[in-house]
Amino acid sequence: MPAVVIIGAQWGDEGKGKATDLLAEHIDYVVKFNGGNNAGHTVVIGDEKYALHLLPSGILTEGVVPVISNGVVIDLEVLFHEIEALNARGIDTSKLRVSANAHIITPYNVTVDKVSERFLGKRAIGTTGRGIGPTYADKINRVGIRIQDLFDESILRQKVEGALVSKNNLLTKVYNRAAIKTDDIVATLLSYAERVRPMVADTALELHQALEAGKTVLFEGGQATMLDVDHGTYPFVTSSNSTAGGASTGSGIGPGEFKTVIGIVKAYTTRVGAGPFPTELFDESGTYLRAAGFEFGTTTGRPRRCGWYDAPIARYSARINGVTDFVLTKLDVLTGLKEIPVCVAYEVDGKRFDEMPVSQTDFHHAKPIYETFPGWDEDITGARQFSDLPKNAQDYIIALEAMSGARISAIGVGPGRDAIIVRHDMLAGK
């Protein structure tokens, strides 16, 4: 069975957790390949709601092996907090695998993240302040701490000392903060060593062997396409590759294995943090979408910026990721609206752009060109077949599919795990 990738096709918070959990019933492994605890998945099972930040959402499905691979940056305190919280609710976490090559978010990475963001003032990026960016920077600068370093105190100490030379100069001389002591960092990190040791594995090898054995492996992207460090709305992006290409580098599985790429889109658009957002709403429509969709960050609690569906972004994501199937979430949030605008193109200085402008300046100044579709009043949360939807809802889906660059194979119609319409089997024949 080839590997399957799930990615966010907008700016995140599209419902990847729900989609992953839906598919997890049919798969053997779920792999988180990028990001850290700067994003969250909310999964609703029955009356229970689970908010996951670092762990793959497939961990909630019995029999599935969850994997945190090499492309992830790990805050060990957060990792064990999540594990303990799930264990307390009767969820088995014993199968979790953690890559020996994954980098660790150290306390000094968190400190640098927070103080540097404050220092930027009006030019702030909108970081979550959880040390994600500085940890990836350390990785690129080759001064990062990896999981495997926890098991050699001498190596760990040398690496921490080396990293703190520049960090302490920055903290004391630029940000007027106290220097961080090597002993404190080493002691904190070593306190997790024996707890994490049973989970640590050569995850790239294990995943390769699983695929060779015919197992189904699902790769779950954190963040989203428009937050990808290379292909997103730079510089208002995350610090990793959250596109389908990141699944290969972030896991050690060759790109030829990925035959199915599932893009998750909301029936409208949201964004958290700073950066351009052409369809953003500042009126009562935006307030309605935020309230009806409960658009507040799973990790940060920040209110999400809300706007109408953006078809050029969907097409861009389909192209960048090689999307084979879209999962459209939160269609039920649009119930009750008389008209539903959809952005079909942009206008920049009197010129029409049918595709996303390559220029950051152009995209920043882009004004949406809308096509309006009639809404519906019927409650759709009980719909389980496409034919159960009101005609206007069906027409809306068909129109989005025609302009989004890939087929819409599943539609979320409510918060529950089973509140979804499957139009096409996304795993069939792959």
What pLDDT was estimated at residue 430? 47
Catalytic one among 13, 149, 228, 310? 13
**Catalytic residue check, 231:** no
The mean per-residue pLDDT over the stretch 402-426 comes to: 92
What pLDDT was estimated at residue 41? 62
| Model confidence band, residue 201 (pLDDT cutoffs 50, 70, 90) | very high
Q: Are strands 309-310 and 305-307 parallel, antiparallel or unpaired?
A: unpaired
**Does the structure show a pLDDT above 80 at 123?**
no
Which of 116, 16, 158, 130 minimizes the C-alpha distance to 74? 130
- Please, what's the b/e burial string for 286-322 (b: 16 or more CB within 10 A of its CB; e: otherwise)? bebbbebbebebbbbeeebbbbbbbbbbbbbbbebbb
- Residue 366 is encoded by which pair of tokens? 């882009």
| Interatomic CA distance for residues 238 and 227, integer angstroms | 5
Superfamily of domain 103-197: Adenylosuccinate Synthetase, subunit A, domain 2 (1.10.300.10)
Catalytic one among 21, 28, 41, 103? 41
Indicate the domain borders of the chain. 3-93+202-422, 103-197
What pLDDT was estimated at residue 299? 61
What pLDDT was estimated at residue 53? 82
**Catalytic residue check, 395:** no
> pLDDT for 371-380, tens place per residue?
999 999 999 9
Choice among 17-21, 83-87, 88-92, 201-205 with the minimum mean pLDDT: 17-21
Are 426 and 410 spatial neighbours (Cβ–Cβ below 8 Å)?
Answer: yes
Half-sphere exposure of 260 (CA within 13 A, CB side): 25
Superfamily of domain 3-93+202-422: Adenylosuccinate Synthetase, subunit A, domain 3 (3.90.170.10)
Residue 126 CB neighbours (<10 A): 17
> pLDDT for 234-288, tens place per residue?
999 989 999 999 999 999 999 999 989 999 999 999 998 889 999 999 999 999 9
